[in-house]
Amino acid sequence: DNWTTSHSFCNWTGVTCGAKHKRIKALNLPNMNLIGTIPPELGNLSFLASLNLSGNGFHGDLPGELGQLSRLKLVDLSSNFFTGEIPSSFGRLNQVSDLVLSNNNLTGAIPPEISNLLNMRTLDLASNKLYGSIPSSIYNISSLRKISLSLNSLSGKIPDGMCHHLSNLEALYLGTNELSGQIPTTINECKNLQVLALDYNQLSGSIPRSIGNLTALTELYLGGNNLEGEIPWEIGNLLNLEIFFAVDMRLTGLIPTSIGNLTNLKEIYLGPNFLEGEIPWEIGNLLNLEIFFAVDMRLTGLIPTSIGNLTNLKEIYLGPNFL
């Protein structure tokens, strides 16, 4: 209501001006029920450092003129109805630390120019309609802490050297796409990863044993792929793990007894798979476990009485099996 000429624009709701130059440096209007399109004239706000229009009803294309805003550090246009492609001009926003365009209807490929944003900490393009391969040059941005590209139609392989430059990465969300190939054995070079989500793609091969070196992991989502072979013993090294999701795959062999080391585990999802043998007695060590999901497999033997130790357990699913 105060966006009128009787008020200085520096006092308008959502507008912040610099103390010295009285130029607009922030336009933050999240969740304001705004509609319409983004005027290309926003590209004239050359002092703008923060642009947050998330959670509104904006539609239409993202104006390429926004790429002129060389001082921008935050761009959050998430949870709107934007369509069209991500402008390649966004690759000129070389001060940007957070680029958040998730929950829109954006199409096309991820422009390779995005990899020019060498100060970027967060790249969030999740829940759009993006396709094509992920530009491998994105994995060279050593400042990245979070990559979220899930819930798109991205294809191609995860490059073997993905983690060479991403030692600072804390969260990698690539789930629900069409990625193929194997999980890189060098995944352990992303040594600070806390969340790794590769679920519901077309990944093949086995779970690399090197995942056991990602000791900061709290959440690991691998289910819904074509992974086969055994759950590596090294999974027991992930002492901070709270969620392990490994359903709808072709895993074989036994549930490793090393799972009993994961005393912070709250949720474990193991089936459907082709796992066999007995539920290890060590499962009773998981005193924080709330959900134990081990359905539609080939488990045999007795249900271990050590499950009675799990006083925080809320849900347990063990059938069909051969218990």
Contacts of 209 (CB under 8 A, 6+ apart): 232, 233, 234
Nearest alpha carbon to residue 130 among 150, 108, 113: 108
pTM assigned to the model: 0.96
Res 276: pLDDT: 97
Q: C-alpha angle with apex 113: 108 to 116, nearest 5 degrees?
A: 145
Residue 4 lies in a domain: no
pLDDT, block means (10 residues), the chain with 323 residues: 89 93 95 96 96 98 96 98 98 97 98 96 98 95 98 96 95 98 96 98 98 98 98 98 98 98 98 97 98 97 96 96 96
Q: Which residue has the tokens 């895993």?
A: 251
Res 2: pLDDT: 87
Res 52: pLDDT: 98
Residue 61 lies in a domain: yes
Res 7: pLDDT: 85
Residue 7 lies in a domain: no
Residue 114 lies in a domain: yes
Res 280: pLDDT: 97
Res 20: pLDDT: 87
Query: Alpha-carbon Rg of the chain, whole angstroms?
Result: 23
Res 308: pLDDT: 96
Residue 322 lies in a domain: no
Q: Which residue has the tokens 């929950």?
A: 103
Domain span at residue 100 reads: 20-317
Residue 156 lies in a domain: yes
Contact 236, 258 (CB under 8 A): yes
Res 140: pLDDT: 94
Which amino acid is residue 210, in one-letter code? S
Number of domains in the chain: 1
Burial (CB count within 10 angstroms: exposed 0-12, middle 13-18, buried 19+), residue 11: exposed
Residue 14 lies in a domain: no
The CATH number of the domain holding residue 108 is 3.80.10.10
Which amino acid is residue 145, in one-letter code? R
Residue 236 lies in a domain: yes
CA distances to 7, 95, 145, 147 from 167, in Å: 48, 21, 9, 13
**b vs e for 255-264, b when ≥16 Cβ sit within 10 Å of the residue's Cβ?**
bbebbbbbeb
